[in-house]
Amino acid sequence: MGIWKFGRMAGVSTLALFATLALFSTLALFACSSSSSNGTPGSLGGAGGSGATGGSGGTVAAGTPLTGATAITAGTDFACALLGDGTVRCWGQNDNGELASAVNDSSLHCTSITCSPPVAIAGVTGATAVAAGLGGACVVLADMTVSCWGDNTNGQLGNGSTTSSTTPVKVTGLTDVASISAGDQNMCALTTTGGVLCWGTNVNGQIGNGTITTALTATAPTGLGLTTWLSAGDQRACAVTAQSAVACWGDNNLGELGVGTSGNYSSMPVAVTGLPGAITAVSAGGFVTCALGTGGAVTCWGDNSAGELGTGATTPTLVPMAGDPVSGISTAAAISAGREGGNYVCALLADSTVKCWGDNSRGQLGNGSTTGSPTPVAVTGLTGVTAIAAGDYFACALLSGGAVKCWGDNSKAQLGDGTTTDSTKPVSVIVPSS
């Protein structure tokens, strides 16, 4: 079993190998979840835009909406978009080098800690997937290797060191990666053959190798087997197995592992119990985990203090409740659970709209208010959505034409609209005119 201890110690890209999952791809989604899901944290999610005013926001800076995006991912306080030409642009918090070398560059509209507009990540070309986490991000490249940048305090860059980098560095030993997911200083990659490798902080067993020793290079979780979907969350990770079941490992402080207990952690993958049937995707968020069933229903477990289980109640559950799925969601195509303290979840529906539920203190439900909801509410004005990404207290949506809209907390410029004003409705990510 590996280590099972009590007491906590301190969200996309489509897989080429598993083309049948294409509908559900995201980036925490990795991600993906990020890039979620990507399996990475989950997947990724309308008024507003250039010259418009978001729900509680001010006037958006003049410029041209970002176009050409093919995938999105939301980190804790920043977001990134993968463009069709294989380049990556990121915006938001930058105090750990999340936006690579774009630090305090007025020509890029950057200060020492934020970049409001999308900034091109220098040195990244030929990217096929991107995942944003806490303090850094990673990309999968055309040669199926992985490069990461940002904070490396706990080895989350995967290059054998703890030296942070504002330029992308190669993750050691990865050569056949299909997708990637970024958690809270823990990163995981899914290979083209269905293997999983993780690296970074391991204080709660989130590497899954039976120890709590930091992994400076990519390390395989013990006994996981063939995997089709992967999501790294807040100090844990989860995977969909080849049998369409779910296994999770790492922190279980509030029942996030779905094994019927809490206040502990598992340093090896454990099977989630009580799932309603075959699962196609999973999203490991802050303190809640959600699974997407083959029919489009969503089931969540873990913390429910803000109604993030979506059942209409606020009572937590330590295992998935097969008879109590998220209320009113039966045609979900992708899911993305918010990071860390965000306490909310979003779902992309088959009709290309988005619904979210849970905490709404910064407008992260996107319905024009800051009132939380224990049942799903529609994000205002969003249509034609192809992917969603839930960050900490903000979320973003990728539209069918390649544009990106975001909503919620904007204190670190993570909405990308040229302001630092929160918006309770989606606003366009803007590339400044000058």
Least confident residue range of 131-145, 170-184, 313-327: 313-327
- The Cα–Cα gap between 321 and 333 comes to 20
- Burial state string for 137-169 with b = 16 or more CB within 10 A and e = fewer than 16: bbbbbeebbbbbbbbbbbbbbbbeeeebbbebb
Q: Which domain holds residue 397?
A: 4-432
- Supply the pLDDT for residue 44: 29
Three-class SS string for 45-102? Answer: CCCCCCCCECCCCCECCCEEECCCEEEEEECCCEEEEEECCCCEEEEEECCCCCCCCC
Give the chain's mean pLDDT. 87
Here the CATH number for the domain that contains residue 211 is 2.130.10.30
Each residue of 206-230: pLDDT tens digit?
A: 999 999 999 999 999 999 999 999 9
**Structure confidence at residue 61 as a pLDDT band (50, 70, 90):** low
- The Cα–Cα gap between 16 and 119 comes to 28
Reply yes or no on whether the pLDDT at 16 is more than 90.
Answer: no
Tokens of 354: 């988005």
What global pTM score does this model have? 0.88
Reply yes or no on whether the pLDDT at 84 is more than 70.
Answer: yes
Longest Cα–Cα distance in the chain: 57
Q: Name the burial class of residue 327, with classes exposed (0-12), middle (13-18) and buried (19+) by CB atoms within 10 angstroms of its CB.
A: middle
Reply yes or no on whether the pLDDT at 351 is more than 90.
Answer: yes
- Supply the pLDDT for residue 317: 93
Number of domains forming the structure of the chain: 1
Among 68, 5, 47, which Cα is nearest to 425's? 47
- Supply the pLDDT for residue 216: 98
Reply yes or no on whether the pLDDT at 87 is more than 90.
Answer: yes
